[in-house]
Amino acid sequence: MSVLTLCTVVGEAGAQDLPAITHERLPCLVAEARPLLEAQLRVEGTPRVYYREVGAETWCYVNGDRYEDQGIVVLPAFPAGIDVEYFFITYTEERITGRSRLVYRSRVTSDCSSVAVARHTSVIVPECEGNGAIGFSFGPIGYQSQTVEISPSTPER
C-alpha cells in the first residue's frame, strides 16, 4: 500500500464531509510503554493513528485493528516529559473513509497509571525521517512507523 496523505482528506472530500471517529482523549501517556488507543468507528475501514511530538514537523503513523465498530491502535513508547499529539483516520485501499474531528494532545509522564498499555514482546525500530523526525529519540518501541506529508489543513485542534 502506498502512503496516504492528509491532503487526500481535504482534496477528495472536504474536511467537513468525512464522518467523525469518536475517541476520548487520554489524560496522559505512560512513559516507556506502548499506549493502547480505542475509538468508536461508524464508518468502514482500517483504523490508523497519525502522531508526532508537539513541535515536530514530521507526522508518523501506525495502523490498528478493527473489531466490529471498535478500532484499537497501539502507539510506540515515548520518553517522559514530552507532549504527543495524535488523530485517527480510517481507510480502505487508497481511500480515506473517516477521521477524528480533533487533534488530541497528551503529556507523557512516569506517573500515568489509569491508561491501558499494550504488553507485546516484539520490537521494531520506527522509520520516521525529516526535519522534525521524532522516531530516532524513542529507541526500540514495537511498531514500524512511516513518514507522511501533511497538508496545512489538518483536523481542528
Instruction: Enumerate residues 6+ apart whose C-beta is below 8 A from 76.
Output: 34, 62, 126, 135, 138, 141, 142, 143, 145
Domain of 108, in residue numbers: 6-148
Is the distance from CB of 61 to CB of 37 less than 8 angstroms?
no
Count of structural domains within the chain: 1
More confident residue, 19 or 74: 74
Q: Which CATH number do you get for residue 125? A: 2.60.40.10
- pLDDT band (50, 70, 90) for residue 151: very low
The answer to whether position 22 is within a domain reads: yes
At residue 118, the pLDDT reads 76
The answer to whether position 155 is within a domain reads: no
More confident residue, 149 or 128: 128
User: Which of 42-46, 115-119, 140-144 has the weakest average pLDDT?
Assistant: 140-144
The answer to whether position 153 is within a domain reads: no
At residue 14, the pLDDT reads 46
At residue 52, the pLDDT reads 93
The answer to whether position 101 is within a domain reads: yes
At residue 2, the pLDDT reads 38
The answer to whether position 1 is within a domain reads: no
**What are the pLDDT digits (tens) for 24-66?**
988 899 998 888 899 999 999 999 999 999 999 888 888 889 9
The answer to whether position 32 is within a domain reads: yes
**What are the pLDDT digits (tens) for 57-97?**
888 888 889 999 999 998 888 999 999 999 999 999 878 99
The answer to whether position 75 is within a domain reads: yes
The yes-or-no verdict on residue 13 having pLDDT over 50 is no
